[in-house]
Homo-oligomer: A and B are copies of this chain.
Amino acid sequence: MRYKLTLEYDGTGILGWQRQLDGPSAQENLETAIARFLGRTPLNREEYAAYKESKENDSSRHTDTFVAGRTDAGVHALAQVAHFDLDAEIDPFRLLQGLNHHLRSNDIAMSVLKAEKVSNDFHARFSAVGRGYVYKILNRRAFPALLKNRVWWVPCPLDVEKMREAASYLLGNHDFTSFRAAACQAKSPVRTLDRLDIVQTGEEIDFIVEARSFLHHQVRNMVGTLKMVGCGQIPPHDMVKILEAKDRRCSGPNAPSCGLYLNKVVY
């Protein structure tokens, strides 16, 4: 039986989605809650590493989870999607309530928004046909007290119209090499950016981006470059040259992870 979860989590203080030997992760947090829900003793980090190395895939010992987008350290999720298989048939509502009961007692803030039974050919990552992120900037003189770790604080006034013009050159099908992390494992640097809207609400500026998939760090590199346009350091039309250069050194710095939210996965 395959189950699909929609998850909200705070990326602060974790090493990202993926399990790591040297610290907490969203995946570890979820898999620990699943183990507790099933009445098992959760694997600790060393036991999990040994289990993975043995390649035994013993579903009576551990339930593996798969996710739509592996978020980096500090990146938040408003609607991450994960799937996993269980031998038993469980009422999805009971699953949601049971997992949240165990998640609530953890230090890491994660909550199951929705639990569904899905067919066995559903895959959280490979079945996804669209992903959406929001990147939040707080644009004001004073640093954030209430939105600490929830936004990128930019004290210099940003010109939203200029950023919108620059953003328009990024829309559509391009080679995004200039906005790609060195560690990116994608085969092709070509992506189709379907949406890049910039919405200003008071002191907050939200960048709403959608594509079938993104390169590693693509959203944060685009926002880091757009912020330079907003500050007047890059003319909007230079975005065309930056794309054409196909060189990461031509774009702006990677915007901090704390402003980024995975907020939509389309199947």
Nearest CB in chain B: distance from A167 CB, A: 25
Residue total for A at the interface (Cβ-Cβ under 8 A): 23
B141 to A96, Cβ gap below 8 A?
Answer: yes
Contact of A142 with B96 at beta-carbon distance under 8 Å, contacts A109-B148, A148-B109 already known: yes
Residues on the B chain within 8 Å of A148, using CB: 10, 109
Tell me how far the C-beta of A91 lies from the nearest C-beta in chain B, rounded to whole angstroms: 14
Residues of B within 8 A of A100 (CB): 142-143
Query: Can you tell how many copies of this chain the complex includes?
Result: 2
Given the known interface contacts A96-B141, A141-B96, the answer about A146 and B109 at a Cβ–Cβ threshold of 8 Å is: yes
- Those of A127-160 within 8 Å (CB) of chain B: 140-146, 148, 150
Q: Is A212 an interface residue (CB 8 A)?
A: no
Q: Are B96 and A113 in contact (CB under 8 A)?
A: no
List 11 additional contacts besides A8-B145, A78-B146, A111-B143; criterion CB under 8 Å: A8-B144, A9-B145, A9-B146, A10-B146, A76-B146, A96-B141, A109-B144, A109-B146, A111-B142, A113-B140, A146-B150
Q: List 24 A-B contacts (CB under 8 A).
A: A8-B142, A8-B144, A8-B146, A9-B145, A9-B146, A10-B146, A76-B146, A78-B146, A96-B141, A96-B142, A100-B142, A100-B143, A109-B144, A109-B145, A109-B146, A109-B148, A110-B145, A111-B143, A111-B144, A111-B145, A112-B142, A113-B141, A113-B142, A146-B150
